[in-house]
Amino acid sequence: MDKYLKSDLENINELLEKVKNNACTFLKDIDEIPTFSKDSKGYNNSQLNQEGLGGEKALEEFIERFYKGIVSSAGAKYFGFVTGGSTPAALMGDWLVSAFDQNASGRDNSSGTKIEEETINLLKQLFGLPQEYSGAFVTGATMANFVGLAIGRQWVANELGFDIAKNGMYNLPPIKIISAAPHSSILKSLSMLGMGRDNMHYIPSINGREAIDIKALENYLKQNNGTPCIVVASAGTVNTVDFDDLKQIRELKKKYNFFLHVDAAFGGFAACSPKYKKLMEGIDAADSITVDAHKWLNVPYDSAMQFTKHTKLQIQVFQNNAIYLGELSENPDFVHLTPENSRRLRALPAWFTLKAYGSNGYQEVVERNCSLAEVLSKKIEESKNFKLLADTRLNVVCFTINLGDHSATLEEIQQFLKIVNEDGRAFFTQTVYKGTPGIRAAISNWRTEEKDMEIAWEVLNKAYKFYLR
């Protein structure tokens, strides 16, 4: 055995203790660690050492060269994208995932797949989904959307008498995909699936909102003359967390022939709260659903779920025909349900956090985050420096800077956010809403409290004064 491998194996307890201490220091200091990396020094590529360094020296080099560039994106004042953190229990589970290193593909290989099955059932309870849905973990919302749309593609083809999984798309007419304000990952998935970004048919939104105009949708479906198609509904748009009316879309499914995919990446967590769960009414009409775990569930990155009513179609698409995997059973292994053959046990952090905090814990997180979004919205409404671009419906605030004589351009928003983010105490991202450049504040971290919003507000106003001087 290599001398460093042998030494590290003999000293694994001490090595992991050093790593634990480093991680604990990071978590203890997370409120003081910048949300934005300012120093790019030390990132030049190093050469591979022929003899290696051993685990302890490798850790020392990491600390010296890269640790200072690790940002507090898992902290309370990171409002970019829609980013959660990691609850303590989720972190416990994630550490065990790496230690156990299970391949969660075969149902009988270990208890790993049983953990995934149970976690999917816990999540169905959390979201109020009927038991008829099956589910599986994937790497993120993009891949969950990919899986859902792949199932939808197979459904459309079957309706037309084709089997894409066996014969490809060569003889299939273009598949129509219909939506009002799809997330960019939907378009990316269309590209990867060979359906093409340009085959997205955009339906008008309700005036002043991002939710789909149901009458316009029905008119389109009428004109489609029964040709099977895919409707992508939003359960929480990225700019304003707007929801398509799923109840009305459910009624349309009784009259028209379409596959309904619901992108509920983070908006699906509205179901956790009695105050907001009405937004999810009608979700039971979905043929496939995307929910992201590393957003509002607050588990480490690389975790999302896809749910579907069409497991047989899913198997048609993702079945892995390899002799060493055995015969396909009535209860297929996960290797036949997702794009991956080898799969990390990413369900375990979700299992830990769901068991640790339950539905009440997630109701509290969702409602607190939404309340803080309302706090920020009120500050903006009362401010002369900023103005809202849209009503705040859940946990995302969409706003812009007030420049008086003209609306801020995207370049001006970018310049302003550079000042904000380089402050290091809060982080925001740019957007464009209804053609107007603006700023998004996505509040989805379990740590975030009102004091954090006060600091963020101070940072925004300080940057505004600096920008105008």
pLDDT at 394 over 60: yes
pLDDT confidence tier of residue 303, bands split at 50, 70 and 90: very high
Q: Are the C-beta atoms of residues 433 and 398 closer than 8 Å to each other? A: yes
Flag whether pLDDT at 424 surpasses 80.
Answer: yes
The pTM of the full predicted model, rounded to 2 decimals, is: 0.95
Residue 322 has pLDDT above 70, yes or no: no
Is the pLDDT reported for residue 266 higher than 80?
yes
Return the closest-CA partner of residue 291 out of 337, 235, 359.
235
Residue with tokens 């309904």: 260
Cβ-based burial of 435 (10 A; exposed 0-12, middle 13-18, buried ≥19): exposed
Q: For residue 290, how far is the Cα from the chain centroid?
A: 9
Q: Which helix (H) or strand (E) holds 107?
A: none
- Phi then psi for residue 130, to 5 deg, are -60, 155
Q: Where are the alpha helices (DSSP H) in 401-446?
A: 410-423
In the block, which residue shows the tokens 């290193």? 101
Rounded-to-integer distance, Cα 30 and Cα 261, Å: 38
- So what's the pLDDT on residue 104? 87
pLDDT at 42 over 60: no
Please answer whether residues 433 and 389 qualify as being in contact, where contact means their C-beta atoms are separated by less than 8 angstroms.
yes
What is the rounded CA–CA span in Å between residue 244 and residue 403? 33
Q: Which two tokens stand for residue 339?
A: 């794009």
Helix segments in 301-346, DSSP class H: 311-318
Q: What's the pLDDT score for residue 324?
A: 57
Burial zone of 404 (CB within 10 Å; 0-12 exposed, 13-18 middle, 19+ buried) = exposed
Strands (E), 51-101: none
Distance CA 426, CA 372 (A): 15
Give the tens place of pLDDT for each residue, 177-201: 999 999 999 999 999 999 999 999 9
Q: In 3-state terms, what secondary structure has residue 98?
A: helix
Q: Which residues pair with 434 in a beta bridge?
A: none
The pLDDT confidence band at residue 45, using thresholds 50, 70 and 90, is confident
Go through the domains of the chain in sequence order and give each one's CATH number: 111-353 (3.40.640.10)
Q: What percent of the chain has pLDDT over 90?
A: 91
CA distance 377 to 396: 9
Q: Residue 82 has what pLDDT? A: 92
For residue 365, what pLDDT band results from cuts at 50, 70 and 90? very high
**Are 199 and 144 in contact, with CB atoms under 8 Å apart?**
no
**Going by C-beta distance under 8 Å and a sequence separation of 6 or more, which residues neighbour residue 214?**
245, 248, 249, 252
